[in-house]
Chains A and B, each alone.
Chain A
Amino acid sequence: MPVIVNPEKCKGCEECLSSCPFDAIVMKEGKALINEYCQACMACISMCPEGAIIEVEKEAPTDLEDIHSYKGVWIFAEQRGGKVAPVAYELLGVGRRLADDIETDLSAVLFGAHQTEAQELICWGADKVYHSSDPIFEHFHDEPYAQMLTSLIMEHRPEIVLTGATPIGRSFFPRVAARVRTGLTADCTSLVIDKETKNLLQIRPAFGGNIMATILCPNYRPQMATVRPRVMKRGRYDETNKGDIIHIKSEGLQSRTKVLQTVKDTSEFMINLQEADIIVSGGRGLGDPKGFKLIAELAELLGGAVGSSRAAVDSGWIPYRHQVGQTGKTVCPKVYVACGISGAVQHLVGMQSSDIIIAINKNPEAPIFNVATYGLVGDLYEIVPLLIKKIKQAKGLLS
């Protein structure tokens, strides 16, 4: 246990209990006790008026490889249907900055897709692209993806490896981290190099964004992270950029799972919530499923996606894949329009990092107004059609 309570000093004042984000401090026989939930975040140490909580030196790990022999920043560029996902260009943006800070080069890894896509990654800032066009990578299978990336990491020893916190990245990166025995930080929203140690500071939300944690991986390499889409700025596109495309050999790859079919969504609404600049969401306040027609009309007009609260999904008004919130998707568009959504904590944690939040609700006391940039109090069936009409007028679609 790296943080302990000195029972002789503890007066049982309970001041430390609320400081713990992990619920790891319990009272036992009038004294505070730190249990197995402790993540050694040290938050409690300064809270104790008696100085009874102390940090115990962590034993340094033994037999570690020389971590300084790892060089280079890598980003994994995922593709679906042969097209590189936009998050890859964001990764090249942040990857470039990190590589410059530690004076190393930036490489991209691409499995599947045509070589022209590899060339695009160079235009977006990669110095090197490791590319395989092996047909096994056409569909996403966790095992060959993980096996190939693991062997590339073992061979080339990069110090940082990033990918998008997308369904693909979040599914196979953990296998790679497990295999190469290193740390993996999920869904980072900020990445910075520590000036002194040159370690990667990986900042991520936890508890649905109510707290932020800075995670380090000081004794193992590479430092691996998945990065939330739409948070990092894209790199600069320059078609005169030069770089090397390295064709990787992919022998002996196997997948025990088999993709039999890939079914594209045929929903009438655009639904890729994590890529959308604008999301218009509806909730219980719509009153019935037809309300989503109105939501979709506004979304379409703005070129945005349709989201929903859990209440609307549970009522069967709209499929689950539209759900924003704790048990749905976490989104951060430029504009989030919440219509008839009261704003339960579980919804707020999924959308409160949006740049601008517009809330439309009948109830002026609704918690959604606490996070709204702009709040409109009134009947959404009156306000939304007006909004549609006036936007159309502004766009010259109506006279």
Chain B
Amino acid sequence: MTIVVCVKQVPDTAEVKINPETGTLIREGVPGIINPFDMHALEAGLQIKDRVKGTVIVLTMGPPQAETALRDAVSMGADNGILLSDKAFAGSDTWATSFTLSKAIQKIGADIIICGKQAIDGDTAQVGPETAEFLNIPHISYVRKIEEITGTSIRVQRLMDDGYDVIESPFPVLLTVVKELNEPRLPSLKGKMTAKKAEIKKWGRADITADEDDIGLKGSPTQVKNIFTPEARSGRKILEGTPEEQVDALLQELRGIKCL
């Protein structure tokens, strides 16, 4: 069984500070990490491999430095890494990103594709489902539990607003996962050694035979018009006094704005 795990390298927000004047993120010198949701996707892939035997291939699209994300994944137990990197991919929105990933996945030939629910920088949650559509395969979003897996199908729980659904799908299928699914393992020492020497394949546009009109900025229907900082919150008020006085002051404030 071939399991493809899609990961994205994102800035480590635990290391990100907010500029108090502008309210923007200070990202200089912030290390790149594997998107947290994708760590759960990778763990899911590794657990499936342990259960039913198979190969875990990690796939990412990004600039050359995204290679470190793939080596990190190999150190956790992934078998191979493939880096999609080409100037022609620059400026991709979710449509073009999904199209590019689907071309690469077609070339690999996967039974299960696993993605994190969303990336913590873009927060779109669109690349997984769009990729499934390009591959013309079913997908299941927000997987919180894998109940059963056989050689031909999988049964999972999909997290919804009011509970969860139990869903079954044949292979191939694409899953997007939430963090409740599992606890990602730590890399082993042996894994780290393997990762250092692992050969990371690099694929560009020619390797996945994608048309120029479908990738990068040209293939992206959406455009970022501008970026701005949201207005800072105002009216911050620290209430004073004993707990009772503070509670009274709070209730008075809330009554004043007709909130209670």
What residues of chain A have their CB less than 8 Å away from a CB belonging to chain B? 1-2, 17-18, 21, 23, 35-43, 58-59, 61-62, 80, 139-140, 142-143, 146, 166-168, 170-175, 177-179, 181-187, 201, 205-220, 255-265, 272, 274-275, 319-321, 326-327, 330, 334-335, 345-346, 352-353, 356-358, 364, 369-379, 382-383, 386-387, 390-391, 394
**Seed contacts A184-B130, A374-B239; 13 additional CB < 8 Å A-B pairs:** A35-B90, A38-B91, A170-B125, A171-B142, A179-B133, A184-B126, A186-B94, A186-B126, A215-B222, A259-B165, A265-B162, A369-B236, A377-B246
How far is A334 from B123 in the complex, measured between Cα atoms in Å? 23
Among B21-29, B50-58, B70-78, B189-197, the stretch that binds chain A is: B21-29
Chain A residues closer than 8 Å to B138, beta-carbon distance: 142-143, 255-257
Chain A residues closer than 8 Å to B213, beta-carbon distance: 61-62
Q: 8 Å CB contacts to A: which residues of B14-64?
A: 14, 16, 18, 23-28, 30, 36-37, 62-63
How far is A357 from B250 in the complex, measured between Cα atoms in Å? 11
How far is A370 from B180 in the complex, measured between Cα atoms in Å? 29
The chain A residue with its CB closest to the CB of B244 is A386
Verify if B206 is at the interface (C-beta below 8 Å from A): no
Q: Could you jot down 27 A-B contacts, CB within 8 Å? A: A36-B89, A40-B217, A41-B227, A42-B226, A43-B226, A59-B218, A142-B129, A142-B138, A174-B94, A174-B126, A178-B130, A179-B133, A183-B93, A206-B122, A211-B227, A212-B228, A213-B225, A214-B226, A256-B170, A258-B168, A264-B163, A327-B179, A345-B18, A378-B246, A383-B246, A387-B251, A390-B247
Quote the shortest CB–CB distance from A140 to chain B (angstroms). 7
Q: Contact at A170–B163, with CB atoms within 8 Å?
A: no
Chain B residues closer than 8 Å to A265, beta-carbon distance: 162-164
Verify if B184 is at the interface (C-beta below 8 Å from A): no
The chain B residue with its CB closest to the CB of A220 is B221
Q: 8 Å CB contacts to A: which residues of B157-179?
A: 157, 159-170, 173, 178-179
How far is A166 from B142 in the complex, measured between Cα atoms in Å? 12
Q: Contact at A36–B87, with CB atoms within 8 Å?
A: yes
Selected from B142, B165, B170, B221, the residue in CB contact (under 8 A) with A261 is B165
How far is A346 from B121 in the complex, measured between Cα atoms in Å? 12
Quote the shortest CB–CB distance from B105 to chain A (angstroms). 14
Chain A residues closer than 8 Å to B248, beta-carbon distance: 390
Selected from A40, A140, A330, the residue in CB contact (under 8 A) with B165 is A140
Selected from A23, A143, A216, A370, the residue in CB contact (under 8 A) with B11 is A23
Chain B residues closer than 8 Å to A218, beta-carbon distance: 223
Verify if B209 is at the interface (C-beta below 8 Å from A): no
Chain A residues closer than 8 Å to B173, beta-carbon distance: 256-257
How far is A375 from B236 in the complex, measured between Cα atoms in Å? 8
Quote the shortest CB–CB distance from A198 to chain B (angstroms). 14
How far is A265 from B90 in the complex, measured between Cα atoms in Å? 43
Q: Contact at B130–A376, with CB atoms within 8 Å?
A: no
Q: 8 Å CB contacts to A: which residues of B199-240?
A: 213, 217-218, 220-230, 233, 235-239
Q: Contact at A374–B125, with CB atoms within 8 Å?
A: no
Verify if B259 is at the interface (C-beta below 8 Å from A): yes
Chain B residues closer than 8 Å to A335, beta-carbon distance: 259
Q: 8 Å CB contacts to A: which residues of B118-156?
A: 120-130, 132-134, 137-142, 144, 155
Chain A residues closer than 8 Å to B163, beta-carbon distance: 262-265
How far is A206 from B222 in the complex, measured between Cα atoms in Å? 15
Q: Contact at A217–B130, with CB atoms within 8 Å?
A: no
Selected from A345, A386, A391, the residue in CB contact (under 8 A) with B16 is A345
Q: Contact at A139–B165, with CB atoms within 8 Å?
A: yes
Q: Contact at B28–A18, with CB atoms within 8 Å?
A: yes
Interface size class, chain B: 35 or more
How far is A143 from B89 in the complex, measured between Cα atoms in Å? 28
Q: Contact at B179–A320, with CB atoms within 8 Å?
A: yes
Closest 3 CB pairs of A and B: A183-B221, A183-B222, A174-B129
How far is A61 from B212 in the complex, measured between Cα atoms in Å? 11
Quote the shortest CB–CB distance from B245 to chain A (angstroms). 10
The chain B residue with its CB closest to the CB of A310 is B179
How far is A318 from B61 in the complex, measured between Cα atoms in Å? 36
Chain B residues closer than 8 Å to A378, beta-carbon distance: 243, 246
Chain B residues closer than 8 Å to A172, beta-carbon distance: 129
Quote the shortest CB–CB distance from B59 to chain A (angstroms). 16
How far is A31 from B189 in the complex, measured between Cα atoms in Å? 38
Q: Contact at A373–B233, with CB atoms within 8 Å?
A: yes
Query: Given that A40-B223, A217-B222, A382-B243 are known contacts, is A376 also in contact with B250, CB under 8 Å in the complex?
Result: yes
Q: Contact at B260–A391, with CB atoms within 8 Å?
A: yes
How far is A185 from B157 in the complex, measured between Cα atoms in Å? 27
How far is A186 from B142 in the complex, measured between Cα atoms in Å? 16
Q: Contact at B120–A374, with CB atoms within 8 Å?
A: no
The chain B residue with its CB closest to the CB of A184 is B126
How far is A274 from B138 in the complex, measured between Cα atoms in Å? 27
